[in-house]
Every structure is written in C-alpha cells, then in structure tokens.
Structure 1
C-alpha cells in the first residue's frame, strides 16, 4: 500500500469508527463553525487519525491542494464529501 493509500485508510477508519456520519466528522473538526476546514483543522483531523506529526503539515497541504476546488485554501463540505467518497471506493 502506498503512503497516500495508508493515510487515506487511516482517515477512513477514524471517520467510520468515531462518527455516525461524514457530516458529523466535518462538524467536529470545523472548530470555528465557518463551514470550512482550515489547514490547522485538517492537521487536527490528521492527528486524530494517527498521522505522524512529522508529515502532518505536508499531508494537510497536499489534501488542500488535491481537494480544494474553489481555490480558497480550505476544504468546504462539498470538497470534504468528494474526498470521503473517493476514500470509500
């Protein structure tokens, strides 16, 4: 399994084991309630998914780069859902 696949699997395990729905997970990590996940909120998600602190910042940046379709440097619900759908395949 590649590093990317391993990371995505850990995120999937976190969400399915600790939250009833992806919406609940999104709301939990959206600490400021602005309906988007900032890089610091994504890092917290990665920390909870047991992603090493050494690579957490890089992974958070890559997730934003890969899923931020509107270019605001944050992940909104639609972008988060697209990522979850991809992970769940």
Structure 2
C-alpha cells in the first residue's frame, strides 16, 4: 500500500503541474460548483493524481476524516486550502 507521504506527494505534483493555483484545482474538482468537495469528487482528484484505484475510496475517506473541520463530511475551500498548505510544505 502507498505511504501517506507518497500519496501526498502525488497530490502535490498534480496540483502544481496541472493547475496554476490551488483555487483552480479546487474549482476543477468541484464538479457541481457547490463550493464543497464530496467523497466522489475527492476520489476523482485521487484518480487524476494516479493513486491506485484499490485504495482511492479509503484514502478519500481518510482525507475527509482528517481535514473536515465542520463535520459535514465534505471539504470546503478553507479545509482544502489547509490540506494543500500542509502538502506543499511536505
């Protein structure tokens, strides 16, 4: 199984190589433009980051669990930005 560091590295590479800003990445993956990423949208991000299909659902759940400060089981822009800021530092 991929390590947390390897997964975060792949997400960082995706965000920095494919998008000009984290805001652009968030908007791209926010398919319904509701200002929040649901699990299926996060799984799409993980697919784009070339995370193994077998673990995408688990990783998506763990990302929500780790960064959803509001408890709505969604990732809003501030929560996404907080996660990205931690990833970029890694």
**Interval of TM-score (by shorter of Structure 1 and Structure 2):** over 0.9
Tell me whether 1:28 sits opposite 2:31 in the alignment: no
Mapped partners of 2:68, 2:76: distance in 1: 8
Normalised to the residue count of structure 2, the TM-score between the two structures is: 0.96
Shift of 1:7: 0.2
Counterparts of 2:72 and 2:5 in 1: how far apart (Å)?
Answer: 25
Task: Extract unaligned runs of 5+ from structure 1.
Answer: none
Which stretches of structure 1, 4 residues or longer, exceed 4 Å deviation after superposition?
Answer: none
CA distances 1:6-54 after superposition (whole Å, capped 9, x unpaired): 0000000000000000000000000000000000000000000000000
Runs of at least 5 residues in structure 2 that lack an aligned partner in the other structure: none
Q: CA RMSD in A?
A: 0.8
Equivalences for residues 29-68 of structure 1 within 5 A:
29-68=29-68
Name the TM-score, length of structure 1 as normaliser: 0.97
Q: Distance in 1 between matches of 2:5 and 2:60?
A: 15
